[in-house]
Structure 1
Amino acid sequence: MTPARTPAAGMLLIHGAWQGSWAWDAWLPELAARGWRARTVDLPGNGANPARDAGLEVSLQIYVDALTEALAAFDAPVVVVAHSGAGVPASQLAEVLPERIACLVYVAGMMLPSGMGYAELVDASAAEVPNAGGIAPYLQWRDEGSSSVVPPEAALEIFLHDCPPEAARQAAAKLTPQQESGRALVTTLSAARFGCVPRIYVEALRDRSVLLPLQRKMQALVPGAIVRSIDCGHVPQLARPAELAALVCDTLGGIGIAPSSPAACSAAPASAAASPHSFTTGTSS
């Protein structure tokens, strides 16, 4: 049976730690070619807006507030795409505003259960998953451990090893300091709100940062997502943008979610509701 069509006003793309809206540049043309309007966001504290970020201590609530503001640019529910650590604020956004989200898409993302931080998952997995810490051993710490930076050589080895070489070098050079208060995040989620939003999880099979065993542990802890695989490293939107776009758009189409008219994006929010689905959230162990 063909699923009922759910029109989405577009996609909101959320970057991960140490990154910015530029992280999606290679993917935007692929989405546009498939009829999707996409809006990127620079999360507070990433340095893109020095006036806004001066003296700011970021938090999960500050991230959710910024994403709520970004949603206001759309007049109907949207598909929220979260890369890597952006999965945590994306999940909390779905808890706060489930009616504004047509689907959550995690791209090698942190799809964690309520009350569990990613460091807790890594610590619990370290004995059985070699190199579970991913980028953590390579980080350089600043301001008495309150922020970190990723050395370019480590970014090329862990994040960008299979991306086009020149694009990888440019991306590594753009990484900015990341406040630890914006990385060590823990959600508060419920089955009634977060759990009613459809989810897609795109696992990156050659990921050296969020390793595949950890991606699959999160899928088990937060069941209900449609899982798709892409044979690349941590940044599919740069390593294989066309393949990722086809994978995501085809999967959305398979559950009836399609882009609405290109004129659907406006300056004011609306209260249209997403289609109900029955999903459950996991609990931390």
Structure 2
Amino acid sequence: MSAGSTPMIFVHGYWHGSWCWSEVIARVAAMGRPAVAVDMAGHGLRADRPQCLTRRPFAPEAVATEVSPVAGVDLDQAGDLLVSQIREIGQGRPVTVIAHSMGGTVLTRAAQLVPELVAHAVYLTAFMPPSDVPGIACVQMPENAGELVAPSFRADPAAIGALRLDLASDDPAYRQQLRDAFFGDVDPAVADAALGLLTPDAPAGIALGATTLTRDGWGSVPRTYVTCARDMAVRPALQKKFISDADAAFPDNPTSVVALDSSHSPFLSMPGQVADIVAKLG
């Protein structure tokens, strides 16, 4: 199989779904590349929404207390699901996987489990944690200071088992904070449409899980990191730390780096550039 015909699988991040890749997929397909976006465990068509955000009359206190219906979803499940998607789409042949944000932890797990089936791992401003470090620990690192996602949580993740956003809120300041966190350079109409498609609960278990990385596993897979200079969810300093930590752990397989001057969601603000980047990879 030539590099140009290697299937490409796109994995979204927390709260999003396969829908967020539609503009990129269209452009990649126009280049003649086989590509598909998948839903991560607990997201998209696999999501289950809490009742508190839509129940009437509305009970504001329930937003902070209702246990999430996706509280049981963890990194093991998410990684196994992605492995099954890789097997199904690749039909036993290697695929290129592009992951965004917390989807990077799931890509890392899958690549460690089946490195022979991942031709290239692409992290688009994604979490790429070191061995045995959970994604949530990276969120809390000093390099991620100033991020706007955690301040948007409307419940204690430890209490409800999820990272909850109040997507039904009519508070203009809160909604602007969500736009700034995820869609800073996205057309306002598109950003509002995207907010309407987000899932309110992201399973905390995915961020709490960690993967032990080995030289013959994840460390053997070619990888590219696409940095986003104006990201307010995964801060640029944390992106650089992911790259330097990976290169220190696996110096014989250094990370290729591509830079974008974008916010957290370049698949919406500059889909053509994202498509051009991934189409050039194996």
- Structures share a fold, TM > 0.5? yes
Q: Which residue is equivalent to 1:136?
A: 150
Q: Which residue is equivalent to 1:282?
A: none
Aligned to 1:207, which of 215, 231, 234? Answer: 231
Residue 149, structure 1, aligned to residue 164, structure 2: yes
- Structure 2-normalised TM-score? 0.80
Percent of aligned positions that are identical: 29
Cα deviation, 1:187-237, whole Å, max 9, x if unaligned, reads 121111111110010000111110101100110001111000011100111
- Secondary structure of the equivalent of 1:48? helix
Offset, 1:186? 1.4
- Secondary structure of the equivalent of 1:216? helix
Taking a change above 3 Å as real, the CA distance of residues 188 and 134 of structure 1, as seen in their structure-2 partners, is: farther
- Structure 1-normalised TM-score? 0.79
For the 8 Å contact 1:115–1:188, the answer to whether it is kept is yes
In the TM superposition, what are the counterparts of 1:1-285 in structure 2 within 5 Å? 6=3, 8-46=5-43, 48-49=45-46, 57-71=72-86, 72-75=88-91, 76-125=93-142, 130-131=145-146, 133-141=147-155, 144-152=159-167, 153=175, 154-176=177-199, 177-223=201-247, 224-250=254-280, 252=281, 257=282
Taking a change above 3 Å as real, the CA distance of residues 30 and 6 of structure 1, as seen in their structure-2 partners, is: closer
Higher-helix-fraction structure? 2
Cα deviation, 1:231-255, whole Å, max 9, x if unaligned, reads 11001111100011112223x1xxx
* Separation in structure 1 between the aligned mates of residue 149 and residue 225 of structure 2, nearest angstrom: 21
* Separation in structure 2 between the aligned mates of residue 230 and residue 29 of structure 1, nearest angstrom: 20
Offset, 1:54? 6.5
Q: Which residue is equivalent to 1:266?
A: none
Cα deviation, 1:121-151, whole Å, max 9, x if unaligned, reads 343426xx641x4411111127833122234
* Separation in structure 2 between the aligned mates of residue 225 and residue 48 of structure 1, nearest angstrom: 33
- Secondary structure of the equivalent of 2:90? coil
* Separation in structure 1 between the aligned mates of residue 70 and residue 264 of structure 2, nearest angstrom: 31
Taking a change above 3 Å as real, the CA distance of residues 55 and 88 of structure 1, as seen in their structure-2 partners, is: closer
For the 8 Å contact 2:95–2:118, the answer to whether it is kept is yes
Moved more, 36-45 or 233-242: 36-45
- Cα RMSD of the aligned pairs, angstroms, is 2.3
- Secondary structure of the equivalent of 2:137? helix
Which is bigger in relative contact order (C-alpha 8 A, separation at least 6)? Answer: 1
Q: Which runs of 5+ in 1 are unaligned?
A: 258-285
Cα deviation, 1:168-200, whole Å, max 9, x if unaligned, reads 101111111112112323112111111111001
- Secondary structure of the equivalent of 1:32? helix
Taking a change above 3 Å as real, the CA distance of residues 25 and 114 of structure 1, as seen in their structure-2 partners, is: same
Letter in 2 for 1:113: P
Q: Which residue is equivalent to 1:271?
A: none
For the 8 Å contact 1:12–1:38, the answer to whether it is kept is yes
Taking a change above 3 Å as real, the CA distance of residues 240 and 158 of structure 1, as seen in their structure-2 partners, is: same
